[in-house]
Amino acid sequence: MSHLLAAAAGNTSLTEFVGSMLPIFLIIAIFWLIVFVPMRKKQKAHEHLLAELKKGDKVITNGGFFGEVVKVEGHLVILKLADNVKVRISKQAIASASSARSRAARGRARRGAPPRRRALQSSADRRRDALRPKAPSLGRSRNT
């Protein structure tokens, strides 16, 4: 009988322990879902981007250089930065890329879409627009 009481007492301490640790486990699980899952998804997308690099793709390096892929050699990429300026970099140094096919698809989509209007103008745009001569109105004047 004393064994049953001891087991019952041990059970309550176990449930109290699990009950007190449950919020910590939930916080760790939520942290994992918020931080690590999107980071892993982004890393896989970047690995896919690097695996699909080919000649003619426009890329931006981690150092901020804009270039066009001339040749892919294993883990190295030869970029054309300007006329007669080619550099050899590691694939891992490429931050983003856009292929000729994706640029053409975006261009086709934009041609059919109405022009985008900017919600806010920069101060340079406002100054330029203020200095631009106004075209005469073709409608009725206000005085008549």
- Say which amino acid occupies 63: G
Q: Does 125 fall in a domain?
A: no
Mean of the per-residue pLDDT values for the chain? Answer: 78
Q: Does 4 fall in a domain?
A: yes
Express each pLDDT in 78-129 by its tens digit.
Answer: 999 999 999 999 999 999 988 765 655 556 555 665 555 555 666 667 667 7
User: What CATH number did the domain enclosing 62 receive?
Assistant: 2.30.30.100
Domain that holds residue 73: 54-110
| pLDDT number for residue 1 | 45
* Same-domain check for residues 105 and 59: yes
* Same-domain check for residues 27 and 75: no
What sign for the dihedral angle of Cα 52, 55, 58, 61?
A: positive
54-68 mean pLDDT: 92
| pLDDT number for residue 70 | 94
Number of domains in the chain: 2
Evaluate if pTM is beyond 0.85: no
